[in-house]
Amino acid sequence: MKFMIVGKGTAETEAGVLPSQELVDNMHAYNESLAKAGVLLAGEGLYPTSQGAQIAYSGGRSTVIDGPFAEAKELIAGFWLIQVKSREEAIEWALRVPVPPGHDGIGLDVYRVFDAADVPHDAMPAEERAREEALRERLLGDQPDS
């Protein structure tokens, strides 16, 4: 099962304030533990929303809204994509994310990622399944060597 652990944004992350060296070191150690356990698929921090955009849809039309966005508590500052055996294991990993002292209220969301492999084999037409598998193989082939 794949899960995404999403780290919430704060006023500091939105302002582009870099984390302390201690937190950076703790995050590196956490990421290394995920990698050593063989569960880490991806993990990245995100720039403030001033570097991003939102796309809103109304009446069949799209509108681009440039950042920054107002509600920092609804924004994300980074994520990990992990592959584990259960929801409980995903939560166990999320509980290990280092949180800096004095940052009460910072939260994480843990979402299960829907994967084509989750669709029963007979529920997806063979041609569609083959296209999906070919795309995933191509994407994996584009990954840099470790």
Same domain, 79 and 134: no
Same domain, 26 and 97: yes
Which carries the bigger pLDDT value, residue 69 or residue 4? 4
Which carries the bigger pLDDT value, residue 91 or residue 137? 91
Tally: H helices and E strands in the chain: 4, 6
**pLDDT mean over 54-68:** 93
Bridge partner residues of 141 (DSSP): none
Tell me what pLDDT residue 32 has: 98
Indicate the helix (H) or strand (E) that contains 109: strand 108-113
Same domain, 27 and 16: yes
**pLDDT mean over 141-146:** 62
Radius of gyration from C-alpha coordinates of the chain:
18
Structural domains of the chain, count: 2
Kindly give the residue spans of alpha helices, DSSP state H, lying in the chain. Answer: 11-14, 21-36, 87-95, 126-141
Tell whether the model's pLDDT for residue 68 goes beyond 60: yes
User: Model-level pTM?
Assistant: 0.79
Give the residue carrying structure tokens 């990622």: 113
Residue 49 exposed, middle or buried by CB count within 10 Å (0-12, 13-18, 19+) = buried
Same domain, 96 and 125: no
Domain of residue 131, residue span: 116-146
Where residue 105 sits, what CATH number does that domain have? 3.30.70.1060
